[in-house]
A and B are shown apart, each in its own frame.
Chain A
Amino acid sequence: DAGITQSPRHKVTETGTPVTLRCHQTENHRYMYWYRQDPGHGLRLIHYSYGVKDTDKGEVSDGYSVSRSKTEDFLLTLESATSSQTSVYFCAISDALTGTGGDGYTFGSGTRLTVV
């Protein structure tokens, strides 16, 4: 998706290991979000950021941490990966907290994470 890239696209990791997913944007948007998508649950917000070094928790933040040292990068870290964190992770960006600016949220293509 234009303006936002996620890396890696796929990752398999072992239980107990730390994992970091990266979201990079070229739109200079203020707000960035991390979601996880699971069957039967839709998308659930993990963490979000409203500026450099300004972050807050979403509804499913346990076991995850984030950092935003630059406007363009938002990192999601699984401190010690568990099988319940096997999921597809999406990053999104917005130029307004409400998502009402422009075309709402812009989503990345996702990272498929498997914890074995």
Chain B
Amino acid sequence: AQSVAQPEDQVNVAEGNPLTVKCTYSVSGNPYLFWYVQYPNRGLQFLLKYITGDNLVKGSYGFEAEFNKSQTSFHLKKPSALVSDSALYFCAVRGLNRDDKIIFGKGTRLHILP
């Protein structure tokens, strides 16, 4: 069975510092991996995805994520945090089988401190 874990409920980072939001996954075979962001009272917005190819994926708002197959991780990163990055972040995974569904993690709340 496929699963995704976000080990941190909340991450606090000072503005201007680099940020990392962690995600690990479990899936049979190669995964499709996603990051979404949710601002208050809004739906989720797509940030980036990994399907195949380069392990470093670049997405919206200066975010990037690194796919690490040996560690089954897909951590979200940004070199310099902005206060406006404060939001709820979801990692998601899907296997390659036709019947596989996208599974979302429980979310990590990111606080960027001014």
Interface residues of A (CB under 8 A from B): 1, 35, 40-45, 48, 58-59, 90, 92, 97-100, 103-110
Q: Give the docked Cα–Cα distance between A99 and B45 (Å).
A: 13
Question: Whole-angstrom distance from the CB of B31 to the nearest CB of chain A?
Answer: 11
**Which of chain B's residues have a CB closer than 8 A to the CB of A42?**
90, 104-107
B43 with A108: CB separation less than 8 A: yes
Q: A42-B104, A42-B106 are in contact. Are A99 and B43 (CB under 8 A)?
A: no
Known: A42-B90, A42-B107. A107 touches B43 (CB 8 A): yes
Instruction: With both chains docked as a complex, state the minimum distance between the C-beta of B22 and any C-beta of chain A, in angstroms.
Output: 15
Q: Which residues of A contact B32 (CB under 8 A)?
A: 98-100
User: What chain A residues lie within 8 Å of B42 (beta carbons)?
Assistant: 1, 109-110
The 8 closest A-B CB pairs, nearest first, are A107-B43, A42-B106, A43-B104, A103-B46, A104-B46, A107-B44, A42-B104, A109-B43
B44 touches A90 (CB 8 A): yes
Chain B residue with Cβ nearest A90:
B43
Q: Knowing A45-B101, A109-B42 touch, does A100 contact B51 (C-beta < 8 A)?
A: yes
Across-interface contacts of B34 in A (CB, < 8 A): 99, 104
- 28 A-B pairs in the complex with CB atoms less than 8 angstroms apart: A1-B42, A1-B43, A42-B90, A43-B104, A44-B104, A45-B102, A48-B101, A58-B101, A90-B44, A92-B44, A98-B32, A98-B94, A99-B34, A99-B49, A99-B102, A100-B51, A104-B34, A104-B36, A105-B36, A105-B46, A105-B102, A107-B43, A107-B44, A107-B45, A109-B41, A109-B42, A110-B41, A110-B43
